[in-house]
Amino acid sequence: MITESLVLSALLFVLGTFGVLIRRNAIIMFLCIELQLNAVNLSFVALSRLWGIDGQVFVFFVMTVAAAEAAVGLAIIISIFRHYETVNVNNFNLLKW
């Protein structure tokens, strides 16, 4: 059971990672990051069967952070969109030397 859960978690995580690396749409990338977080959450929950309740506690932390991140991140994306009228990250390279 644990093995299947961890494999699923790993698959989701890799999926998320590739999403972040490949996709150019900020919203999609953002969703992929959420996917990564939830993949980790899944492995936390699964492993808590072996190691006790700690992993489940961590899941709550991660979810809190993810919620805060979603609020801030979406706000940033929206304000960027208002400015550039696009959410394609290729257009945002001001953080350059």
Partner 1 sequence: MHVTLWMMPLVGAQETHAAESAAFEPFFPGLVILLPLIGFAINGLLALRHATASAAAVRAGGELVLDGPTGRPPTHTLPSWVGPGVLLAAFVVTLVNFVRMLGVELHEPVVVEYWTWMATGTFHVAAALQLDQLSMVMMLVVTGVGFLIHVFSVGYMRDDPGYPRYFAYLNLFVFFMLVLVMGSSYPLMFVGWEGVGLCSYLLIGFWFSDREKSDAGKKAFIVNRIGDFGFLVAMFLLFVTFGTLDFVPVFGDSPQALAYGGGLVTAITLFLFLGAAGKSAQIPLYVWLPDAMAGPTPVSALIHAATMVTAGVYMVARSSVLFALSPAGSATVAGIGVLTALFAATIALKQNDIKKVLAYSTVSQLGYMFVGVGVGAYAAGIFHLMTHAFFKALLFLGSGAVIHAMHHALHHTHSHEDPQDMRNMGGLRRHMPITAAVMWIATLAIAGIWPFAGFFSKDEIIWQAAAFGGAEHAPYPGLYTAYWVIALAAAMLTAFYMTRLMVMTFHGSNRTGSEEERHLHEAPAVMWVPLAVLAALSLFGGWINVPEAISSSILGLGGGLPMGEWLHHWLEPVTASAHQIQEANLGELGHTAPVGGGEVLWALLSTAAAGLVVLVSVRVVGGWKVTPAARDVAPTGFGKILYNKWYVDELYDAVIVRPVVRVSRFCWKVVDAGIIDGLVNAVGYLARAFGFVGSLFQTGTVNTYAFILSLGVLFILGAVIF
Q: What SS3 state is found at 52? A: coil
Considering only 5, 17, 25, 86, the residue that binds partner 1 (CB under 8 A) is 17
Considering only 9, 12, 29, 87, the residue that binds partner 1 (CB under 8 A) is 29
Does position 94 interact with partner 1 (CB under 8 A)? The reply is yes
| Backbone torsion region of residue 83, taken as left when φ is above 0, otherwise alpha when ψ lies between -120 and 50, otherwise beta | alpha
Site for partner 1 in 63-92 (CB under 8 A): 89-90, 92
Does position 21 interact with partner 1 (CB under 8 A)? The reply is yes
Rg of the chain on CA atoms, in Å: 16
- From the CB of 46, what's the least distance to partner 1, in Å? 19
